[in-house]
Amino acid sequence: MDKDNHVLQQGGYKAPAVHKAFQVLRMVAEAQRGLRIVDLADRLGYSASTTHGLVHALLREKALVQGEGAHELFLGPLIAELAFTDWNYLKVNELAQPILNEVRDRAGATVFLGVRIRSRVMITATAEAMESFKISAPVGTSIPLFAGAVGKVFLAREAAERIGQLVAERGLPRYTPNSITTVEEYLAELNRVRSRGYAVDDEEYLSGVRAVAVALNNRQGLPMAIWVVGFAVNMGLEKLEQVANIAADSAKKLRIELEEAGDADLESAVASLKGQGR
């Protein structure tokens, strides 16, 4: 055993730069909106030069991406790639993509599949609308849990007390004039989500944009949901209900396929173990 490995195993080796890089990623992941470098430096207590160096290293590796205009920082595609490199998640996307494509074609809008990771939702697969003018976001993009329809279907599974705690910690941001900003209204909205089986975003996260979301209610892995996003002029209230039905059928179909795939993998593993025991 060489000296470096011995030090690592004993837990005596420390890498301050690695620790700081993870602090940057954690801060960006937990932020309600994109953060600028100056915001990160201020919140973490790092010098401007240290923060600048860390951020640009993470940008080069695509662990962070930079938005337009104010140069706000968001988690990059590398995070999703690392999180979903495991073959199980690759299989999820393989099974999901044809279903997402079908929803897109029937709804005429962009479709996302995503998972809840603590206080954010990360996009893991997407089927973009065919039109040149469309809603678009790359795999790895994350949005706040209290943003739009997809967060509602995840939070509808939480108790009212837990919702109150989350609101106390993070607040209910006013993204647009339509945003729900009181706990009472938000809890009432979650009751409607439970009753309908789907959530609606009526220009609450982005002005001029409507969305419908349905939870997969998957038994294994991180909680997943499908949501359909389009421009309000093309997604009237009647169409929202139609899209919700399409999304609900597709979420059920994907959940069944994932469960069947999981059962097949389990049977294969058991058969392999039996073979080894002979």
How far is C-alpha 61 from the geometric centre of its chain's CA atoms?
20
Query: According to the model, what pLDDT value does residue 62 have?
Result: 83
Q: Does 92 share its domain with 191? A: yes
116 located within any domain: yes
Enter the DSSP assignment of 140. T
Q: Does 175 share its domain with 112? A: yes
What gap in Å lies between CA 88 and CA 189, rounded to an integer? Answer: 34
CATH number at residue 27: 1.10.10.10
Query: According to the model, what pLDDT value does residue 263 have?
Result: 62
The residue out of 42, 75, 108 marking a domain boundary is: 75
278 located within any domain: no
What gap in Å lies between CA 46 and CA 30, rounded to an integer? Answer: 18
Q: Does 251 share its domain with 232? A: yes
Residue 227 · residue 260 · CB < 8 Å: no
Q: Does 20 share its domain with 44? A: yes
Query: According to the model, what pLDDT value does residue 85 have?
Result: 57
What gap in Å lies between CA 121 and CA 134, rounded to an integer? Answer: 21
In sequence order, which residues have a C-beta less than 8 Å from that of residue 4 and are 6 or more positions away?
13
Q: Does 119 share its domain with 71? A: no
Q: Is the pLDDT of residue 171 over 80?
A: yes
Q: Does 62 share its domain with 124? A: no
The residue out of 14, 48, 75 marking a domain boundary is: 75
* Residue type, position 237, single letter: L
Query: According to the model, what pLDDT value does residue 89 have?
Result: 67
Query: According to the model, what pLDDT value does residue 1 have?
Result: 42
Residue of 66 and 274 predicted with greater confidence: 66
Residues spanned by the domain of 17: 3-75
47 located within any domain: yes
How far is C-alpha 216 from the geometric centre of its chain's CA atoms?
14
80 located within any domain: no
Above pLDDT 90, what percent of the chain?
A: 54
109 located within any domain: yes
Residues in a beta bridge with 212: 200, 228
Q: Does 260 share its domain with 162? A: yes
CATH number at residue 191: 3.30.450.40
The residue out of 75, 104, 130 marking a domain boundary is: 75
User: What SS3 string covers 36-54?
Assistant: CHHHHHHHHCCCHHHHHHH
Q: Is the pLDDT of residue 33 over 50?
A: yes
Q: Does 50 share its domain with 101? A: no
What gap in Å lies between CA 175 and CA 204, rounded to an integer? Answer: 7
Q: Out of 1-10, 112-121, 170-179, 212-221, which region has the weakest mean confidence (pLDDT)?
A: 1-10
Side-chain half-sphere CA neighbours of 68 within 13 A: 0
274 located within any domain: no
Question: Considering its fold, how many domains does the chain have in total?
Answer: 2
Q: Does 23 share its domain with 136? A: no
271 located within any domain: no
Cα→Cα distances 72→67, 148, 226, Å: 5, 20, 26
Query: According to the model, what pLDDT value does residue 2 have?
Result: 42
Q: Does 132 share its domain with 243? A: yes
What confidence tier does 14 reach under pLDDT thresholds 50, 70, 90?
low
State pTM to two decimals: 0.73
Q: Does 223 share its domain with 99? A: yes
In sequence order, which residues have a C-beta less than 8 Å from that of residue 248 and are 6 or more positions away?
197, 198, 214
90 located within any domain: yes
Cα→Cα distances 150→102, 146, 162, Å: 19, 9, 18
Q: Does 68 share its domain with 91? A: no
Which of 126, 232, 166, 134 has the alpha carbon at shortest distance from 30?
Answer: 166
Residue 75 · residue 140 · CB < 8 Å: yes
Residue of 186 and 7 predicted with greater confidence: 186
